[in-house]
Amino acid sequence: MSGKPQRPGVAPPRLIGGLAVAALLAFALSLAIGPSGFGLGGAGEAADLIFWEIRMPRAVLGALVGAALGLSGAALQGYLRNPLAEPSLVGVSGGAALGAVLAIHLGLSQTFALALPFGGLIGGAVAMLAVVALAGAHGGPVTLILAGLAVSGIATALISLALNLSQNPFATVEAVFWLMGSLADRSLTQVWLAAPPILAGMAVLLFLGRALDALTLGEDAARSLGIDVARTRLVLVAGTALAVGAATSVTGVIGFVGLLVPHVLRPFVGHRPSLVLPASALAGAIFLLVADIGLRLAQPWMDLRIGVLTALIGAPFFVWLVLKTRAELAP
């Protein structure tokens, strides 16, 4: 065969398999590492308690939330045909954050521990309905982005208002810390609360592969290939709302994972949206688990929150993206 040689790359099944193994390793590592110093084989009542009450929820949440963010970022980028899309773009994480902040602000989280995640879930769902109502079923990518930005903007404004009017400095600190995003000190109950909607949302998003592949050729060609583009859009918003809304409601806002992970993975799967989806879910889980392990190792010196760390990694990545795009566009 003449022409350029085939690009170096990994066969997709092997890549996905490798990522799955790496995700399992990261999960096991997350269970084995912590300030109390014992590994997986730790014995005794205290070790058992720490393992099941602290490390297990943290590892499970890290995997679930990382996968949800990576996958929904990949799905959104695929649908919008834009590598700069991110789950927060559709307003769901903003809505979830607002719901949780309101739960803190109104003192509900003092009387009822699960008020926070419930507030987040409700906020995420309300935001999703608002975005769908605003954008309509047939508006194309641009109206969806605009509707998401509008709803996010409203949520951010109301969060600022709640923080501004807060009479209780403890509530304000709690809300601000919550907004930074964290996997620490979550209970298994919270995991049980968040896991079903996260998994349901992810299952729904994984079904979009075919449609996203077809959309590579534009909406008309995709429809002529038998793809229902309007339904794809609804499924996308609903899946993202479930997965990201539930994730945000338990962990707070964790940014950049959904932007960065699909972007890094795309070249390794030949840019095919249907392959970017599962690869990003697995890589998102790995990324968040590893970042969280890093936080725990750094804890004796610095108590960082994971949302802060992902932003610290993600923002320079964005700068790199700008420079790369600039180089590509240069004559």
> For other proteins, which stretch binds (CB under 8 A), given 1-9, 155-163, 286-294, 305-313?
1-9
Task: Give the integer Cα–Cα distance in Å for 42 and 94.
Answer: 40
- Contacting residue, 148, 273, 307, 314, with other proteins by CB under 8 A: 273
* 34 in contact with other proteins (CB under 8 A): no
* 156 in contact with other proteins (CB under 8 A): no
CB neighbours (10 Å) of residue 21?
11
Burial of 11: CB neighbours in 10 Å, binned 0-12, 13-18, 19+: exposed
* 142 in contact with other proteins (CB under 8 A): no
- Contacting residue, 32, 184, 272, 321, with other proteins by CB under 8 A: 272
* 270 in contact with other proteins (CB under 8 A): yes
Q: 57: closest CA among 217, 186, 179?
A: 186
Determine the 3-state secondary structure of 192 from DSSP.
Answer: helix
The secondary structure of the chain in percent helix, strand, coil, rounded to multiples of 5, reads 75, 0, 25
* 11 in contact with other proteins (CB under 8 A): no
Q: Which is nearer to other proteins, 35 or 267 (CB)?
A: 267
Task: Give the integer Cα–Cα distance in Å for 130 and 247.
Answer: 19
Site string for other proteins, 184-213 (x = CB under 8 A): -----------------------x--x--x
Site string for other proteins, 53-92 (x = CB under 8 A): ----------------------------x-----------
Q: Sign of the C-alpha dihedral, residues 158, 159, 161, 167?
A: positive
Determine the 3-state secondary structure of 37 from DSSP.
Answer: coil
* 167 in contact with other proteins (CB under 8 A): no
Go through the chain and tell me how many residues it has.
331
* 143 in contact with other proteins (CB under 8 A): no
Q: 277: closest CA among 225, 322, 211?
A: 211
Q: Which is nearer to other proteins, 115 or 275 (CB)?
A: 275
Q: 207: closest CA among 78, 21, 85?
A: 78
* 321 in contact with other proteins (CB under 8 A): no
Structural contact between residues 178 and 114, judged by C-beta atoms closer than 8 angstroms: no
* 216 in contact with other proteins (CB under 8 A): yes
Name which of residues 227 to 246 contact other proteins (CB under 8 A).
227-228
Q: Which is nearer to other proteins, 247 or 276 (CB)?
A: 276
* 7 in contact with other proteins (CB under 8 A): yes
Task: Calculate helix-pair angle for 273-298, 56-80, nearest 10 degrees.
Answer: 140
Residues binding other proteins: number (CB under 8 A): 30
Contact residues toward other proteins (CB under 8 A) are 1-7, 81, 207, 210, 213-218, 220-221, 223-228, 266-267, 270-273
